[in-house]
C-alpha cells in the first residue's frame, strides 16, 4: 500500500467523516481542473484527492484500509516520508524464517490480512445509479387541463405516467425509478417526460395557471360601453365593457383560468376594437356624419400634429 490517504487529504487518522468530507471539498475546489485550466500538476493533485476520498469517504473501504495499515502493509509517517516493510520481515516477526516457514501461531493473521487486502476483501465496485431516460408526450390543450395518465414506451416496457392537472407546455414530469437499471445494486435511473401541449383556437396560456383571450368589440361598444358575452372553459359569461374602453385594455376574470391540484388561475380578457372591412351605404352615410362631428377631437394632438 503506497499512499497515505490521510496525508493526501491533510487530516488525522482519527478524523470523523464530516472532517474528511470537508477537507475533500476544500481541496477539490482548489485543485479542480475548471479552476486550473491547463495546469497538469493541479489535475494530477485533483485525481489523488479523489482517490483518497473514494477510500476514506466510504465506511467499509476505510475500515479495510485502516486494517491494512494496522497489519503493517503500510507504515505511515509525515506526507512524503513514508516507510515500507518487506513481506519477509512480516513473516520473520511472526516466527517464520526464510523460505522454510510453515504454519504456526500468527500465520492465519498474516495470510488472512493479505487475503483481506488482495483477495476477498478487495474493494468492491460501488453501486451505480442507472441512466436517466428522457422522452416527450404531446397532449391536446384540453387533455393537458384534465391531467391524464399517459403511457410511455421504454424499450419493450410501457410505463404509465400521471400528468399533473393543468400542466403547461414544456413542463418536464419526473418519474422516479423508471429509467435505466442500476449496476452493482444501485437504484434505477429516472424517467423525464417533457410535455408538449397543443394550441387552442381561442385561448392562450399566461404562466402556469392563467388563460388569455382576445375579445373584439365594435367602435360604438368601446365608446359607449356595453355588456357582452364571452366564452370560458366552462361555457359563457358576461362582462361589462366600460364607456371609453381603449384597444388593448385587459380585464381579469378571477377563477376562470386553469385549474390545478392546488388552485385555479384567472382569465385575462384583452379588448380589441374591430374595424369593419365592408360597410353599407347607410352605414357609410352615418360614419361620414360622425366623422364631421369628430373634427372637434384630435386623437393625435399629443404627437404635435
Lowest mean pLDDT among 100-109, 210-219, 295-304: 100-109
Q: Where are the alpha helices (DSSP H) in the chain?
A: 5-9, 17-31, 40-56, 59-71, 87-93, 107-118, 141-146, 219-224, 281-293
Per-residue confidence band for 231, with pLDDT thresholds at 50, 70 and 90: very high
- Judgement on whether residues 13 and 86 belong to the same structural domain of the protein: yes
Q: What is the pLDDT of residue 124?
A: 62
- Judgement on whether residues 79 and 143 belong to the same structural domain of the protein: no
Residue 256 counted as domain residue = yes
Residue 125 counted as domain residue = no
Q: In the listed set 83, 118, 153, which residue is the last one of a domain according to the structure?
A: 118
Residue 305 counted as domain residue = no
User: Over the stretch 12-31, which tens digit does the pLDDT of each residue have?
Assistant: 999 999 999 999 999 998 99
Query: Mean pLDDT over all residues of the chain?
Result: 82
Residue 126 counted as domain residue = no
Residue 264 counted as domain residue = yes
Q: Where are the alpha helices (DSSP H) in 159-241?
A: 219-224
Please name every residue paired with 133 in a beta bridge, in sequence order, or none if there are none: 191
- Judgement on whether residues 189 and 214 belong to the same structural domain of the protein: no
Residue 127 counted as domain residue = no
The answer to whether residue 302 scores a pLDDT higher than 90 is no
- Judgement on whether residues 114 and 9 belong to the same structural domain of the protein: yes
Maximum separation of any 2 CA atoms in the chain, in Å: 127
- Mean pLDDT computed over 138-143: 93
- Judgement on whether residues 152 and 78 belong to the same structural domain of the protein: no
The answer to whether residue 89 scores a pLDDT higher than 70 is no
Total structural domains within the chain = 3
CATH label of the domain that carries residue 237: 2.60.260.20
Q: In the listed set 87, 118, 149, which residue is the last one of a domain according to the structure?
A: 118
Please name every residue paired with 259 in a beta bridge, in sequence order, or none if there are none: 264
Residue 103 counted as domain residue = yes
- Judgement on whether residues 100 and 54 belong to the same structural domain of the protein: yes
- Judgement on whether residues 192 and 208 belong to the same structural domain of the protein: no
- Mean pLDDT computed over 259-288: 92
Q: In the listed set 66, 93, 118, which residue is the last one of a domain according to the structure?
A: 118
CATH label of the domain that carries residue 74: 1.10.287.110
Q: Decide: helix, strand or coil at residue 276.
A: coil
Q: What is the pLDDT of residue 98?
A: 40
State the residue range of the domain holding 14. Answer: 5-118
- Judgement on whether residues 18 and 111 belong to the same structural domain of the protein: yes
Amino acid at each position: 500500500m503506497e499512499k497515505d490517504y490521510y496525508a493526501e487529504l491533510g487530516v488525522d487518522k482519527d478524523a470523523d467523516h464530516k472532517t474528511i468530507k470537508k477537507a475533500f471539498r476544500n481541496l477539490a475546489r482548489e485543485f479542480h481542473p475548471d479552476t486550473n485550466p491547463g495546469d497538469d500538476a493541479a489535475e494530477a493533485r485533483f485525481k489523488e484527492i479523489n482517490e483518497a476520498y473514494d477510500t476514506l469517504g466510504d465506511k467499509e473501504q476505510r475500515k479495510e484500509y485502516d486494517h491494512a495499515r494496522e497489519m503493517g502493509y503500510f507504515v505511515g509517517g509525515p506526507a512524503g516520508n513514508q516507510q515500507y516493510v518487506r513481506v519477509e520481515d512480516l513473516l520473520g516477526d511472526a516466527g517464520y524464517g526464510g523460505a522454510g516457514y510453515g504454519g504456526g501461531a500468527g500465520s492465519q493473521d498474516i495470510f488472512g490480512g493479505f487475503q483481506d487486502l488482495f483477495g476477498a476483501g478487495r474493494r468492491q465496485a460501488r453501486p451505480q445509479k442507472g441512466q436517466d431516460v428522457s422522452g416527450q408526450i404531446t397532449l391536446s390543450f384540453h387533455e393537458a387541463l384534465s391531467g391524464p395518465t399517459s403511457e410511455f414506451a421504454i424499450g419493450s416496457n410501457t410505463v404509465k405516467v400521471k400528468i399533473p392537472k393543468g400542466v403547461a407546455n414544456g413542463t418536464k414530469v419526473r418519474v422516479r425509478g423508471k429509467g435505466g437499471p442500476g449496476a452493482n445494486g444501485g437504484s434505477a435511473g429516472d424517467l423525464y417526460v417533457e410535455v408538449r401541449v397543443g394550441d387552442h383556437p381561442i385561448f392562450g396560456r399566461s404562466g402556469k395557471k392563467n388563460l388569455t383571450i382576445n375579445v373584439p368589440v365594435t367602435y360604438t361598444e368601446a365608446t359607449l360601453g356595453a355588456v357582452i358575452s364571452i366564452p370560458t372553459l366552462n361555457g359563457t359569461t358576461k362582462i361589462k365593457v366600460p364607456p371609453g374602453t381603449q384597444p388593448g385594455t385587459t380585464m381579469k376574470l378571477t377563477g376562470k383560468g386553469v385549474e390545478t391540484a392546488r388552485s385555479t388561475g384567472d382569465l385575462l380578457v384583452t379588448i380589441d376594437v374591430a374595424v369593419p372591412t365592408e360597410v353599407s351605404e347607410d352605414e357609410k352615410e352615418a360614419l361620414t356624419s360622425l366623422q364631421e362631428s369628430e373634427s372637434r377631437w384630435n386623437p393625435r394632438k399629443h404627437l404635435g400634429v
